[in-house]
Amino acid sequence: MEKEFDFAIVGGGIMGTSFAYHLLQRGYTVALFDKNYTPIEASVRNFGQVVPSGFGAEWQKYGIASMEIYRSIQKVAQLDLREEGSLYIASNEEEIRLIEELNTINQKNQYDSIIFDASDIAKLYPEIKHSYAKAALHFPLEIQVNPKTTVERMLHWLKEKKQLHYFNNVTIQDIEVSSSKIHLTDNFKNEYTAKKVMICSGHDFKTLFPEIFLNAGLKTVKLQMLSGIANNTKIKGSILTGWSIRRYECFQECPSYQQIIAQEDPNSFQRLHGIHILAKQEADGTIILGDSHHYASHGPNAAGTDYEDIINVNDFMIAEAKKILNIDHFELRNTWAGIYSQCTDKPILVENISDDITVVTGIGGKGMTASLGYTQDFLNKLNF
């Protein structure tokens, strides 16, 4: 007889994998489907910076919960997790004002952060250029995961130790309800049944329920990144710089934010390409630099696919990174783009197709930080 799963999850990125993790921990039977052989979308193309500091209060809570869950998974599934903190570097008076204001907000919210002055930075972060760093805000408890391995290792562990039924290389093309069961059909015409379905399909708006996505206020965002090697430079933790201070949600709560942003040139190269400079180093010494943001609605056809654009953006990001970090001889080894979906008017899309079929996507740039905590809270609220 055909097996009926308690839950079927479509999509094996960090969102679908996080749902699978919590549901299996709670004793449900779970099938997870991904159209690729191994995960290849945003969940493996990102920085792996786990930075609850970047969010407003509600999502910061999910990020903090995620860090605890990552730490517990690390003990059993070797995630290459690192505990090196995050550093937001201010390069001028305006950015210093914003980090000081955020530090005050954090004290009220009891979220650990410390202001470093230029001499602290010189002592603790010799990889950062003295000429750029005027002050910095440090979050000592924040972590880094390896974007290339995290989701795959979690899936492997869930399969081997928690009886996850993992169907890779399988696209779910149709989902129907009949005789109070949910039937899923894949691209080989195989059928599966489940009591409940979660659709965590990232930026794929076209395969399942396209009409829902069309009117859901979603956009796709293409981010360009690159990696390479530089001298013997060692970079600690997640490095975020002045343009991140001017862009991240958490700083929007600062009293001076609106006035400072209003003075920016909207036509600068960095604003037109949504660039802010972030950096992180992997265990093998590779330095990841990014990123740009190009926006488009209804599908992965985001702007800037010309080779010339890619080169211009990369050249710009490397030149800017050299002003911030001691990476004077940077050797480019790889460049790539990742796409995520994001809501225009809310932090995430949760759409009930029926009582038992729910779409959860559009988490934007928060996914590697917040998914584990968000999905835990989501299931708690439904008493699963």
The binding site for ligand FAD (CB under 6 A) comprises 10-16, 33-36, 39, 41-43, 45-49, 171-172, 200-204, 207-208, 223, 225, 290-291, 338, 340, 361, 363, 365-369
**Residue nearer to ligand FAD on the CB measure, 94 or 341:** 341
**Residue nearer to ligand FAD on the CB measure, 242 or 362:** 362
Report, in Å, the least distance between residue 78 CB and ligand FAD. 20
- Residue by residue, what is the 3-state secondary structure of 329-375? CEEEEEEEEEEEEEECCCCCEEEEEECCEEEEECEHHHHHHHHHHHH
- DSSP character at residue 198: E
Per-residue burial over 291-313, b = 16 or more CB atoms within 10 Å of its CB, e = otherwise: bbbbeeeebbebebeeeeebeeb
**Residue nearer to ligand FAD on the CB measure, 97 or 276:** 276
**Residue nearer to ligand FAD on the CB measure, 202 or 274:** 202
Quick one: tokens of 147? Answer: 């974007």
CA distances to 29, 103, 168, 204, 363 from 172, rounded to whole Å, are 18, 46, 11, 12, 21
**Residue nearer to ligand FAD on the CB measure, 282 or 291:** 291
Return phi, psi of residue 340, to 5°: -125, 165
Report, in Å, the least distance between residue 252 CB and ligand FAD. 17
**Residue nearer to ligand FAD on the CB measure, 103 or 173:** 173
Report, in Å, the least distance between residue 278 CB and ligand FAD. 7
CB of 208 closer than 8 Å to CB of 10:
yes
Report, in Å, the least distance between residue 93 CB and ligand FAD. 28
- DSSP character at residue 255: T
Quick one: tokens of 101? Answer: 């204001």
Report, in Å, the least distance between residue 365 CB and ligand FAD. 5
Report, in Å, the least distance between residue 10 CB and ligand FAD. 5
